[in-house]
């Protein structure tokens, strides 16, 4: 299948303050140490969450992918993916960039292509997946505040996004869009061979195509991302989450002991969610304490 036949995706945000976070389960199942066994010419690596990365200052953004594609001047390109997903709108922009690239696009799912990373993968002319790799699709979700009209506006827009994604998966697999919507509703995980059987990928990667790179993802980065997602699940706005994590990172007085309890109302959060927050906070503090200057 040529990617030119795939539908374009809407890339605009409904509002500037709306973003979509990655799935906590995808983050838990993501092994950031998985990399391509060998570097090749004209390769784009998507090894991080999609969208702005608080720790690196950029992350896998459309700006970065656009610059990489421009430097290749229309040549064939390999896109290596091992990502838990992230911002759906940034992912849609990246999907469109790859879809419009003039050269052949070969996608290699080395470990995980979840959420936003899964539909980025669909932009490949040829999609290869590791036997032990996974592809996960689900509906977009976000945290948003406002009155009922503003929230309804965002919900309606997300429904349009989900329909657009289901359409992309439908064209790629050849199955009805309603089937794709049911898979997305259920948050469906597919191992390598299943992804091929269902039409989401074309062939398995050779067993020697991947490697483990021990220092690929630092403990403090993973811990911070996990804490960020858990806080998002509890309804904390992105700006407050970033501020809290920055306070903990810099050792601001009171942040380490009281940040999560002050930022959210413990009476409104289930006990297991509070336990998750406390475990994530402890993990983050332990990881951050090993970094010089943190």
**First CA to last CA distance, the chain:** 49
Distance CA 102, CA 199 (A): 23
Q: Which of 121-130, 134-143, 179-188, 261-270 is predicted least confidently?
A: 261-270
**What does the block give as tokens for 161?**
């996004």
The rounded mean pLDDT for the chain is 80
Residue 215 makes CB contacts below 8 A (sequence gap 6+) with: none
Residue of 150 and 179 predicted with greater confidence? 179
Topology of the domain comprising 3-212? 2-enoyl-CoA Hydratase; Chain A, domain 1 (3.90.226)
State mean pLDDT over 258-276: 44
Write the burial class of residue 201 (CB in 10 Å: 0-12 exposed, 13-18 middle, 19+ buried): buried
Please give the pLDDT value at position 18: 62
What residue spans define the domains of the chain? 3-212, 219-288
Please give the pLDDT value at position 138: 95
With pLDDT > 70 as the criterion, what percentage of the chain qualifies? 67
Please give the pLDDT value at position 293: 37
**pLDDT confidence of 215, banded at 50, 70, 90?**
low
Residue 285 has pLDDT above 60, yes or no: no
Residue 20 has pLDDT above 70, yes or no: no
Residue 256 has pLDDT above 50, yes or no: no
Alpha helical stretches, state H, the chain = 24-29, 62-72, 88-100, 116-121, 148-173, 177-185, 192-197, 219-233, 238-250, 255-263, 271-288
Q: Which of 28-32, 64-68, 139-143, 252-256 is predicted least confidently?
A: 252-256
141-163 residue pLDDT tens: 777 778 899 888 888 888 988 99
State mean pLDDT over 94-102: 95
Q: Are 114 and 83 in contact (CB under 8 A)?
A: yes
Residue 260 has pLDDT above 60, yes or no: no
Alpha helical stretches, state H, 53-122 = 62-72, 88-100, 116-121
Q: Are 51 and 120 in contact (CB under 8 A)?
A: no
Please give the pLDDT value at position 267: 39
Residue 249 has pLDDT above 60, yes or no: yes
Distance CA 154, CA 210 (A): 40
Residue 258 has pLDDT above 70, yes or no: no
**pLDDT confidence of 213, banded at 50, 70, 90?**
confident
For the annotated catalytic residues, the residue numbers are 115, 138
Residue of 136 and 285 predicted with greater confidence? 136
Residue of 33 and 271 predicted with greater confidence? 33
Half-sphere exposure of 220 (CA within 13 A, CB side): 18
Q: Which of 91-95, 164-168, 232-236, 260-264 is predicted least confidently?
A: 260-264
Beta bridge pairs of residue 191: 134
């Amino acid at each position: 299948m040529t990617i030119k036949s795939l539908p374009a995706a809407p890339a605009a945000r409904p509002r500037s303050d709306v973003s979509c976070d990655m799935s906590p389960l995808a983050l838990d199942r993501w092994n950031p140490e998985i990399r391509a066994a060998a570097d090749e010419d004209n390769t784009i690596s998507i090894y991080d969450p999609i969208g702005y990365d608080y720790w690196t200052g950029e992350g896998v953004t459309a700006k970065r992918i656009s610059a990489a594609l421009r430097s290749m001047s229309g040549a064939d390109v390999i896109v290596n993916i091992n990502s838990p997903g992230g911002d759906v709108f940034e992912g849609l922009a990246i999907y469109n960039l790859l879809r419009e690239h003039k050269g052949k696009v070969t996608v290699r799912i080395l470990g995980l292509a979840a959420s936003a990373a899964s539909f980025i993968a669909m932009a490949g002319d040829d999609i290869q997946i590791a036997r032990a790799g996974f592809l996960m699709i689900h509906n977009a979700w976000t945290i948003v505040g406002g009155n009922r009209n503003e929230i309804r506006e965002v919900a309606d827009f997300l429904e349009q996004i989900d329909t657009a994604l289901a359409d992309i998966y439908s064209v790629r697999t050849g199955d009805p869009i309603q089937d794709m919507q049911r898979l997305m509703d259920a948050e469906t995980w597919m191992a390598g061979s299943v992804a091929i059987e269902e039409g989401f990928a074309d062939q398995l990667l050779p067993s020697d195509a991947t490697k483990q790179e021990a220092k690929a993802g630092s403990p403090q980065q993973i811990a911070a991302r996990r804490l960020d997602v858990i806080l998002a699940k509890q309804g904390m706005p992105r700006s407050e989450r970033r501020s809290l994590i920055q306070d903990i990172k810099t050792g601001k007085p009171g942040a380490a002991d009281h940040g999560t309890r002050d930022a959210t109302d413990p009476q409104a959060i289930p006990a297991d969610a509070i336990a998750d927050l406390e475990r994530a906070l402890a993990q983050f503090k332990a990881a951050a304490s090993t970094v010089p200057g943190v």
